[in-house]
């Protein structure tokens, strides 16, 4: 088995700068560990075997990307850096965007983040190197690859992967409304609502958590966002927000969540409140109590 | 006989994609220059009208992630002007802190790229490592190294407590002596000077005619800093925090002068942050999380790390803007490139481009 020298070249297909600006310290600052991978930065794409691509692939870039890619000698490995490279991220709905990049190039590793931390970009490059070695030696790539830089950590405050506490969520759709990259989708089903967060579309802005009235959606400090292409469509956080049956009329209704009740009844123990009644029946009961 | 040279659009020394078609003479001097852009055009003007006002707080950050506090801040200021909302003084202070932190990190990125291109390796490393302190600070206080998500319509999302103020002050204490040391080395380093002094000169007369802004203007001896000439936010309430632009002004107008002008900006930003965090106004950080935005029009300008940024916003009382337009600093500074590049060596082209600290993603948008 021969060791391969990874030769890295970066292509910007219309990034907002974030990913490219973070790429530079990733390769130039020692603490991110890229130098330990034996990676060489090359000036000419013809010499490269490891390509990092950023940006959502603008219409203008498309033909240039095609011609650049046609110059690379096989075999090579592509690492998509940033949410834009994976799904076009926040720019997805624009007329000027022809991406994502995997329409044109075979991508091997994806690094979600907007922008990803250098630690994640480094991890993406490291996994790219691993895949490159496998490709060069004719081995099959396994479905997942364990973390390579294991000792990286993030501060508590880091806005990482979003998470949802379904107990607190009341399916009000505020998060869906304020999410700039349409990463949240709430769908009604018989049993209630499905709340989906697509990590590969998310731009990690925290808008949803900030505007959520119940504190159900929150950001964790996890930067575990480096995945193989085969995992691209599986990286979803999916929860069911269950509906209830009204004990009075028998209709299905969306009960106020623990989080919402806690907002309304700040001095009471919300667990004691009887929530098994829909808002229509509650209104009627209250009306009768007051005026009948 | 002139030779044709092409640079880009994908090139290791170009942080963003742009395409140069040059004609050079036998001494490798540039005789003709054509600059082709549009590679970063993402249809932002159309996109912002498809998103609601809350979504646009984040989308405007992605006009450019290097000045990603200025964009949403200026956007929020335009909305507030239309809605006739005066934001709390504490929010004004928080906005200035976030803005000046971004200015330091942005200017230092440009300086590291300069020394990277000039192959002054040790200087590049030390600049990058110093900048890392600011990046870490952003991650600890705001949660991301580039996009801080700090702005809210009618205020800010974040607040500072004693602990966080201490983190900021401690970071500045570490960073400031390093920046002063770097400033002296950039001023005197023979290798760097030999590559940057007299290179890419923009004479005062051309600078005035083209109307350059930011450090490019200051490098050619012009003071048109918006924070001083048309103060806004906390710079208007507390004129004493305004930057002392004379510390950034240079006469030479070359690549070296523009770099040194940035050092002036950085050190003043350090001073401004210190002044503001040690004297924080009390009060709320916003007026209304989701304000009603009536129909109206507004024009607002601020000083981004690269110079004057103008936002035009038109609303019709609905949830989405009818029109949003920008005049970004690089738009005017870009024109100056032709003056700088013509008659200079072709090998200097990427360095001259870097010296205007181009934000192509702002300009192509
Ligand atoms: S992923 Fe985010 S930071 Fe990276 S280019 Fe796209 S918008 Fe910018
Ligand atoms: S409660 Fe929070 S998480 Fe649930 S739908 Fe509303 S905003 Fe979203
Ligand atoms: S952090 Fe929340 S609001 Fe922001 S993009 Fe991700 S899911 Fe959407």
ipTM for the whole complex: 0.85
**Residue A157 lies inside a defined structural domain of this protein:** no
- CA A223, CA B132: separation in Å to the nearest integer? 18
**Stretch A72-98: mean pLDDT, rounded?**
89
Q: Is the pLDDT of residue A1 over 60?
A: no
Residue with token string 């760097």: B192
Contact A181, A201 (CB under 8 A): yes
Q: Does A114 sit within 8 Å of B147, measured CB to CB? A: yes
Best of A64, A88, A176, A180 to disrupt the B interface by mutation (most B CBs within 10 Å)? A180
Torsion on CA atoms A128, A133, A137, A142, rounded to nearest 10 = -50
**Stretch A27-35: mean pLDDT, rounded?**
85
What Cα–Cα distance (Å) separates residue B206 from each residue in B51, B309, B332, B333, B343? 40, 21, 12, 11, 15
Taking Cα atoms as reference points, which of B127, B125, B196, B211 lies closest to residue B350?
B196
The count of domains in chain A is 3
What sign has the CA pseudo-torsion A95, B56, A104, A198? Answer: negative
SS3 A239: strand
Condensed to tens digits (0 to 9), the pLDDT of residues A86-98 reads 999 899 888 888 8
Q: What pLDDT, on the 0 to 100 scale, is given for residue A73?
A: 84
Residues written for chain A:
292
Q: Is the pLDDT of residue A273 over 70?
A: no
Residues 118-177 of A with CB under 8 A from B: 118, 154-155, 157-159, 177
Question: H or E stretch including A164?
Answer: strand A162-164
**Residue A146 lies inside a defined structural domain of this protein:** no
- List of residues 6+ apart from B194 with CB closer than 8 A: none
- CA B12, CA B6: separation in Å to the nearest integer? 14
**Residue A258 lies inside a defined structural domain of this protein:** yes
**Stretch A161-174: mean pLDDT, rounded?**
89
**DSSP class of residue A58?**
B
Q: What pLDDT, on the 0 to 100 scale, is given for residue B128?
A: 92
Helices (H), B197-305: 204-210, 214-219, 226-229, 233-237, 255-277
**Residue A12 lies inside a defined structural domain of this protein:** yes
Is residue A190 domain-shared with residue A122, that is, in the same domain? Answer: no
Instruction: Give the domain range for residue A70.
Output: 7-136
Q: Is the pLDDT of residue B89 over 90?
A: yes
**Stretch B48-56: mean pLDDT, rounded?**
91
Q: Kindly identify which residue of chain B lies nearest to residue A115, measuring between CA atoms.
A: B146
Domain boundary among A78, A101, A136: A136
**Stretch B184-191: mean pLDDT, rounded?**
90
Q: Say which residue, B260 or A148, is predicted with more confidence.
A: B260
**Stretch B138-167: mean pLDDT, rounded?**
91
Q: Is the pLDDT of residue B15 over 70?
A: no
Mean pLDDT over the full length of chain A: 86
Q: Does A115 sit within 8 Å of B9, measured CB to CB? A: no
SS3 B9: coil
Q: Are strands A192-198 and A252-253 parallel, antiparallel or unpaired?
A: unpaired
Is residue A74 domain-shared with residue A126, that is, in the same domain? Answer: yes
Give B164→chain A minimum CA distance, Å.
Answer: 11
Is CATH 3.60.10.10 the right assignment for the domain spanning B41-328?
no
Is residue A91 domain-shared with residue A210, that is, in the same domain? Answer: no
Is residue A43 domain-shared with residue A106, that is, in the same domain? Answer: yes
Q: Does A16 sit within 8 Å of B143, measured CB to CB? A: no
Give B129→chain A minimum CA distance, Å.
Answer: 7
Task: Specify the CATH number for the domain of residue A210.
Answer: 3.30.70.3270
Q: What pLDDT, on the 0 to 100 scale, is given for residue B13?
A: 65
Q: What pLDDT, on the 0 to 100 scale, is given for residue B313?
A: 92
Q: Is the pLDDT of residue A275 over 80?
A: no
The two most distant CA atoms of chain A are separated, in Å, by: 87
Q: What pLDDT, on the 0 to 100 scale, is given for residue B178?
A: 94
Q: What pLDDT, on the 0 to 100 scale, is given for residue A270?
A: 62
Concatenated DSSP letters for A100-118? -GGGTS---EEE--SSPPH
Is residue A217 domain-shared with residue A271, that is, in the same domain? Answer: no
Cis peptide before A75 (omega within 30 of 0): yes
Give A9→chain B minimum CA distance, Å.
Answer: 7
Q: Is the pLDDT of residue B118 over 90?
A: no
**Stretch B293-316: mean pLDDT, rounded?**
91
Contact A76, A163 (CB under 8 A): no
Taking Cα atoms as reference points, which of B158, B161, B160, B159 lies closest to residue B147?
B158
**Ligand in nearest proximity to the CA of A187:** 2
- For residue A122, the number of C-alpha atoms closer than 13 Å in the C-beta half-sphere is 24
Condensed to tens digits (0 to 9), the pLDDT of residues A202-247 reads 999 999 999 998 888 999 988 888 888 888 888 888 888 888 888 8
Is residue A105 domain-shared with residue A169, that is, in the same domain? Answer: no
Residue B51 near chain A (CB below 8 Å): yes
Q: Is the pLDDT of residue A52 over 70?
A: yes
**Residue A150 lies inside a defined structural domain of this protein:** no
- List of residues 6+ apart from A16 with CB closer than 8 A: A84, B40, B42, B62, B63, B64, B65, B68, B361
SS3 A213: coil
Is residue A128 domain-shared with residue A195, that is, in the same domain? Answer: no
Q: Is the pLDDT of residue A269 over 70?
A: no
Q: What pLDDT, on the 0 to 100 scale, is given for residue B24?
A: 73
Q: Is the pLDDT of residue B10 over 80?
A: no
- Atom number in ligand 2 closest to CA A193: 5
Contact A188, A170 (CB under 8 A): no
Is residue A184 domain-shared with residue A276, that is, in the same domain? Answer: no
Is residue A72 domain-shared with residue A125, that is, in the same domain? Answer: yes
């Amino acid at each position: 088995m021969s060791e391969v020298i990874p030769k890295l070249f970066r292509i910007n297909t219309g990034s907002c700068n974030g990913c490219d600006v973070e790429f530079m310290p990733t390769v130039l600052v020692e603490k991110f560990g890229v130098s330990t991978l034996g990676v060489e930065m090359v000036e000419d794409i013809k010499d490269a075997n490891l390509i990092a691509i950023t940006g959502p692939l603008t219409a203008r870039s498309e033909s240039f990307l095609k011609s650049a890619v046609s110059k690379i000698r096989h075999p090579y490995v592509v690492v998509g850096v940033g949410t834009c490279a994976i799904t076009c991220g926040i720019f997805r709905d624009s007329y000027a965007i022809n991406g994502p990049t995997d329409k044109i190039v075979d991508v091997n590793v994806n690094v979600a983040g907007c922008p990803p931390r250098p630690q994640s970009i480094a991890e993406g490059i490291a996994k790219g190197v691993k895949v490159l070695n496998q490709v060069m030696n004719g081995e099959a790539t396994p479905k997942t690859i364990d973390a390579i830089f294991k000792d990286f950590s993030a501060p508590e405050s880091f806005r990482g992967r979003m998470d949802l506490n379904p107990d607190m969520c009341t399916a009000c759709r505020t998060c869906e409304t304020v999410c700039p990259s349409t990463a949240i989708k709430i769908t009604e089903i018989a049993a209630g609502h499905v709340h989906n967060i697509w990590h590969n579309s998310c731009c990690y802005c925290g808008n949803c958590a900030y505007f959520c009235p119940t504190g159900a959606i929150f950001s964790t400090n996890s930067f575990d966002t480096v995945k193989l292409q085969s995992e691209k469509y599986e990286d979803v956080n999916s929860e069911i927000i269950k509906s209830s049956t009204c004990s009075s009329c028998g209709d299905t209704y969306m009960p106020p969540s623990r989080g919402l009740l806690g907002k309304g009844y700040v001095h009471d123990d919300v667990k004691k409140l009887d929530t098994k009644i829909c808002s229509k029946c509650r209104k009627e009961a209250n009306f009768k109590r007051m005026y009948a | 006989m002139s030779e044709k040279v092409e640079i880009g659009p994908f090139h290791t020394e170009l942080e963003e994609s742009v395409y140069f078609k040059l004609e050079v003479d036998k001494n490798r001097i540039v005789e003709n220059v054509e600059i082709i852009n549009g590679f970063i055009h993402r249809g932002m003007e159309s996109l912002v009208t498809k998103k609601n006002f809350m979504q646009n707080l984040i989308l405007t950050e992605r006009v450019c992630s290097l000045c990603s506090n200025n964009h949403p801040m200026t956007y929020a200021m335009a909305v507030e002007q239309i809605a006739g909302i005066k934001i709390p003084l504490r929010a004004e202070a928080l906005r200035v802190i976030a803005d000046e932190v971004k200015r330091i990190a942005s200017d230092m990125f440009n300086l590291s790229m300069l020394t990277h291109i000039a192959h002054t390796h040790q200087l590049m490393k030390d600049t990058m490592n110093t900048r890392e302190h600011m990046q870490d600070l952003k991650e600890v206080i705001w949660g991301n190294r580039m996009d801080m998500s700090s702005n809210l319509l009618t205020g800010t999302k974040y607040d500072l407590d004693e602990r966080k103020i201490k983190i900021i002050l401690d970071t500045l204490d570490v960073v400031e002596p390093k920046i002063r040391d770097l400033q002296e080395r950039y001023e005197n380093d023979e290798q760097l000077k030999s590559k940057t002094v007299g290179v890419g000169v923009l004479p005062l007369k051309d600078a005035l005619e083209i109307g350059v802004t930011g450090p490019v203007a200051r490098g050619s001896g012009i003071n048109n800093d918006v924070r001083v000439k048309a103060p806004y936010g906390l710079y208007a309430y507390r004129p004493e925090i305004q930057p002392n632009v004379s510390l950034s002004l240079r006469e030479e107008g070359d690549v070296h002068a523009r770099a040194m002008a940035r050092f002036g900006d950085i050190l003043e930003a350090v001073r401004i942050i210190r002044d503001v965090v040690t004297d924080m106004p009390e009060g709320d950080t916003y007026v209304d999380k989701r304000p009603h935005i009536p129909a109206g029009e507004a024009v607002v300008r601020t000083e981004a790390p690269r110079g004057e940024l103008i936002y035009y916003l038109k609303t019709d009382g609905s949830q989405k803007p009818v029109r949003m337009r920008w005049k970004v600093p690089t738009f005017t500074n870009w024109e100056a490139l032709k003056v700088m590049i013509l008659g200079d060596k072709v090998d200097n082209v990427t360095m001259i481009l870097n010296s205007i600290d181009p934000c192509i993603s702002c300009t192509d948008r």
